[in-house]
Amino acid sequence: KSTPWLRKRINKNKHKKPLELIKCESGETIHYMGNPFTIHVSFSKKESIKIDNKILYLQTPFMDLNADHSQKRIQFLSKWFRQRAKDIIEDRVTIFSKLINVSPKSIRIKQQKTRWGSCSAKGNLNFNWTLMMAPLPVLDYVIIHECCHLKHLNHSKAFWNLVSTYCLDFKQHKKWLKEKGYLLKIIA
């Protein structure tokens, strides 16, 4: 017999269809900055990724449809996402930390299973690279949230007041992550 808590969790997730990890093949869709892009894989001796007109062009020497080549394409795409995350998140942390008047000790981009971001007591900010699949306002909310933790290392009323000063519709973005965040975990 299931507990009320377990029944609630099962019912809550019924509408979510099971998520399949992409194989990084032509025709698949992946999101970047909240927008869907169709993957187009083509042969090249050197790997590269370009985005143009809703298409993510992945050039790779790993063209076979076997699992090993698929994994190599996924690793390259993940590395590309991590680099975009490093560049974009660091720039946006710089902007928001100046506005909020805080100074993070370091900014790290990680693959975290359960968190979008975190702030340590030492002032280090960590961000999940899969946020690059989310819309920019959602990414900005997470950055603002973590920068505000540099002033309030808790979720007190003062913390949320500070967040709302720099992100008026933070509740909407928080809700988006709660309801659609599972969509950001489609590549390894």
Q: Are 36 and 30 in contact (CB under 8 A)?
A: yes
Q: Supply the pLDDT for residue 1.
A: 44
**176 half-sphere exposure, CB direction, 13 A CA radius:** 19
Q: Residue 95 to residues 21, 92, 111, 126, 174: CA-CA distances in angstroms?
A: 33, 5, 23, 16, 21
Q: How far apart are the first and last CA of the chain?
A: 35
How far apart, in whole angstroms, are the C-alpha atoms of residue 51 and residue 83?
Answer: 14
Question: Can you give the pLDDT of all 188 residues of the chain as single tens digits?
Answer: 445 554 555 455 545 544 567 888 899 999 999 999 999 999 999 999 999 999 999 999 887 776 788 888 999 999 999 999 999 999 999 999 999 999 999 999 998 888 999 999 999 999 999 999 999 999 999 999 999 999 999 999 999 999 999 999 999 999 999 999 888 877 65
Q: Where are the alpha helices (DSSP H) in the chain?
A: 4-12, 67-100, 136-149, 157-166, 170-180
Given this model, what pLDDT does residue 3 score? 55
DSSP code at position 61: S
Are 6 and 170 contacting, i.e. CB atoms less than 8 angstroms apart? no
Q: Which of 184, 74, 54 is nearest to 132 (CA)?
A: 184
Q: What is the model's pTM? A: 0.85
